[in-house]
A and B are shown apart, each in its own frame.
Chain A
Amino acid sequence: MNIKNSKVLQVENLSVSYKTRKGWIQAVQNVSFDLSYGETLGIVGESGCGKSTVAFAIVNFLGPNGKVTSGSIKFEGKELVGLSRRELNRLRGNRISMVYQDPMAALNPILRIGDQLMEVLTYHRNFSKREAYEHCIDMLKRVHMPDPEAVMKRYPHQLSGGQQQRVVIAMAMLNNPALLIMDEPTTALDVTVEAAVLDLVEELKSEFGTSIIFITHNLGVVARVSDSICVMYAGEIVERGHVGQIFENPAHPYTRGLLRCVPLLGTSKSSTVLRPIRGRVPPPERRLPSMCIFADRCGHRENQCVDKKPNLREIDPGHEVRCFKGERFLYISLRDRRSAQKVRRIGSSTCAEKEKPLLDIRKLRVYYTQKMRIGVKHIVRAVDNVSVQVNPGCTLGIVGESGCGKSTLLKAIIGLEKVRDGKIFFQDKELDTLVVHRPLDIIKEIQMVFQNPDSTLNPAYPVGKQIERPLKRFKTVPRKRVREEALRLLRAVRLGQDYYHRYPRQLSGGEKQRVGIARALASRPSLILCDEPVSALDVSVQAAVLNLLMEIQNKFGTTFVFIAHDLSVVRYISDYVAVMYLGQIMEAGPTQRIYEPPYHPYTEALLSAVPIPDPDISQRRIRLEGNVPSAMNPPSGCRFHTRCPRRHLLPDGGKICQEKAPEEHVIDKNHTIYCHLPIETLLELDPVVEMKTS
């Protein structure tokens, strides 16, 4: 390779604009970075900060309305800006590869995996069919794809998400590219799959020596794979440095803010408070070139920040920051701020032992029937024999991979899904009908907060109308005071009066989610079901919404059932946690107990998969084999036995796991584990997450 020029990629003063109806809008300004051979550069930032635009600019994939307005991109010393499409195509296939967020969209659904993979080699490298085939099989093996020959014959939809992403990575690596750009490659995947894909990326790095640009919004992920990191904010790089520098001594207020609003796996709501960054990322037309881009959200703003724009400057060898006060922050440790010494603004938990649970679910089963062909029906056991209780004023967190029945459980409680068997008691009344047949006074007691901020509000009506509807329907307040109450609710979710007339399209994701919460609060419910309310939000906004939910709980004594796939978030907000797998509860108990031994082997694996944005925390590595089996014919006995990494600890190699469903082990008050392994064995396991003692 080119020895003289040791950089694979040099980006200098790159600016990119998009044409919109309002005219040209600058999405990225003056971005410079370079990448050595074998280096992995992580680009982090919230959505709308221009991370993907940078990647698309490198491969000249900006679309018909995007264009590089200035700057240069040099790949192996060769200028890419202004290159013709044909030359770029050749380069793209041979030396630069890209992996996108959604693997399903990256694979052609009507071609077999084998054909798609082989095309790369036959087209770009003039391989013969047989050579290409062997090469592809080899590559699939290297990305740890089980049974590569069979996979070559399959169509994309026959593979799981994790497998698809492996195929996409294999395809990207086939040409042995010098540069691999990965744009949020794990965002659409479950934590356990994500962990495996990240392992794979690390492995490829050492094996092929490929340079990687890894774009993500997840600080934990970026900490795990990157050598150096660029933090982007509003189209600019605000901080740049090695992983250690960024995570241990972050110097830009934005980086510090981001790190402070992520709940860490080791923190719970009684020990820390998340500090959201106020405001939101300014839209491009509001980014004033004459002042610091972060000034309007910065807690350390000074007059000079508004008067002139700071430059990116080096404050430590290899560590650059775009802030006038960078040096001062450099040695203020974030850890002190994270620690428990800070007085909590939010009072202690409202959760206490009560004699009667508010919600009592007993042996609940929810089955779907799926028509396969005429006359053939399959039963999907979405929720199978689940029992769980929630005390008033408490938060029950439910975690598990996608498809484990979390959402179905919520739907059964709220009455959108028919219960097959078992009972749900709410305030000592049995809920046995669908929501349309329930009396209004039960309906108003249970409300729901939804996952997707973009679809939680009806785009046709202003915010105020949507909050007023439940007020009118449930007659929470007399008709004359409806508007007043709607404004009060807006205040309760920290939105100003002027939001009353706004339409959902004028709000940011976090604001929409707040309105969704206000709407759920309108009927003054005693139980709110939250279906992944923060998983689609940026971290800074996520922290604000989590804090808001806890504030609401303290103020109104509301009970929450909180679903999430992020174990750190669940730990932060919950008093009790239930871990679900394939429609069944594997482990349930008080939060603290779930996150320390004895673990259920599944909980253990989940904990080990969570990416943690803290280099001081060490994690034991446990990876699950294979995929979540289909809920149409779940494994016999213990449902987890096909993937259980601890099964061999049983004397006969875990034969009993195949034959018999495990009994519940009550370890301690409230803490139950469903596993055949004796408690003593489980107790002996080391904790997965440990603070490095320094």
Chain B
Amino acid sequence: MGDVSQLNEYEYIEGKERKSLLSKSLRPFALIFSSRTATVGFAIVSFWIIVSVFAPFLTPYSPTYQDWKAPNQGPSWNHPLGTDELGRDLWARLIYGARIVLVIFPVSSGLWLPGGTALWGVAMALLVGSTLGLISGYKGGWIDEIVMRLLDAMISIPVILLYLLLVAALGASAVNVVIAIAIVGAPGIARLVRGLTLDIKTRDYIRAAETRGESSLYIMFVEILPNTKGPIIIDAMLRVGYAVFAMGTLGFLGLGLPPPSPDWGSMVAKGREFILAGAPWAALWPSVAIASLVVGLNLLADGLREELTRYQ
């Protein structure tokens, strides 16, 4: 007898469905874990993030402490990954190096900001790139032509050369590395955002905003930008990978952070001399670190992209 009222309840539940804040914030993780690729990538990336955040608790050594009695050692109980040519602990240098990439951004000697150098570089690239892309895509016409041709010109310069030019011109420091990463990354992001904007601006909700007489700025940043979120996040992950790589390259060429700060690139460069001398550890570990972090970020981005497009 009570079945009809039960049925009404079923309609009622449908109307009342609302997600709690907790389940909302967990949704991206559910997405990551539904893809094996993304899960592996996520594990690698979180390993490096956790290790670098808790670096001071994970090693008794400072990255600059030199143990003169034990240069170029292999892994041992005292030094889990061995030491370099000055007897510095490689594990400590490795995880403090990760800190600079992923967790802290040393602006000057006394000041550092949370968020690593690579992340800041990509964030800056996003800021510049998406602004240019939005303007170019939404306004169209000659503005679009000028912006895009300039960016094309920049894209046509080989990336390594551009990094070298910029850092050599600006000087080697964390801030300048961030600037270089931003300048190199911006054109690609601008292209991506422009493409998305061209699609989104034909939608009716943009028409609706225009018929309300909204300003271009409002339409670009409030109506269009939030809808480019998905592809941009995935692109940004890949770009953090490129930035890690770029930092490694710059460090290797002596244009990274000034010594003695622990920098993966310069660690490889220094350690390179001792590979044939029987101590490959100093070059091996930072190389593995760079490779694993870049691969991890790529796996994460690829997995997410696959998962997002799978059921469409």
Interface residues in chain A, defined as those with a beta carbon under 8 Å from any beta carbon in chain B: 20-21, 65, 279, 286, 291, 295-296, 301, 303, 306-307, 414-416, 435-436, 438, 440, 443, 446-448, 450-452, 455-461, 466, 469-470, 473-474, 496, 498, 501, 516, 519, 523
Contacts and interface: CB of A to CB of B under 8 A. Distances in A.
Nearest to B225: A460
Given A65-B311, A306-B6, A436-B213, A452 B11 contact: no
Interface of B: 1, 3-4, 6-7, 10-11, 14-16, 18, 34, 203-205, 207-208, 210-214, 223, 226-227, 229, 310-311
Contacts of B229: 460
Contacts of A279: 11
Contacts of A456: 204-205, 208
Contacts of B204: 450-452, 455-456, 516
Per CB-CB distance, the 6 closest pairs between chain A and chain B, nearest first, are: A460-B226, A450-B204, A455-B203, A306-B3, A458-B205, A443-B213
Contacts of A460: 226-227, 229
A436 B226 CA distance: 23
B269 to A, nearest CB: 46
Nearest to A459: B227
Given A456-B208, A458-B226, A474-B212, 16 more contacts: A21-B34, A21-B311, A301-B7, A303-B3, A448-B207, A448-B211, A450-B204, A450-B208, A455-B204, A457-B205, A458-B205, A458-B227, A461-B226, A473-B214, A498-B18, A516-B208
Contacts of B18: 498, 501
Nearest to B1: A303
B207 A20 contact: no
Contact of A455 (B3, B15, B16, B205): B205
A307 B2 CA distance: 10
Contacts of B3: 303, 306-307
14 contacts: A21-B310, A291-B7, A295-B7, A301-B7, A306-B3, A306-B6, A415-B211, A438-B213, A457-B205, A458-B223, A458-B226, A469-B212, A474-B212, A516-B208
Task: Summarize B's interface: helix, strand, loop or mixed.
Answer: helix
Contacts of B1: 303
Contacts, number: 79
Nearest to B215: A436
Contacts of A436: 210, 213
Contact of B210 (A307, A416, A457, A523): A416
B174 to A, nearest CB: 34
Contacts of B208: 448, 450, 456, 516, 519
Contacts of A461: 226
Contacts of A523: 212
A296 B9 CA distance: 11
Nearest to A307: B3
A470 B212 contact: yes
B176 to A, nearest CB: 35
Nearest to A297: B11
Contacts of A458: 205, 223, 226-227
B211 A435 contact: yes
A450 B311 contact: no
Contact of A286 (B14, B207, B210): B14
A397 B148 CA distance: 44
Residue picked from B6, B204, B310, most chain A C-beta under 10 Å: B204
A440 to B, nearest CB: 7
Nearest to A415: B211
Given A295-B7, A460-B227, A498 B203 contact: no
A501 B18 CA distance: 8
B212 A416 contact: no
Given A450-B207, A498-B15, A303 B212 contact: no
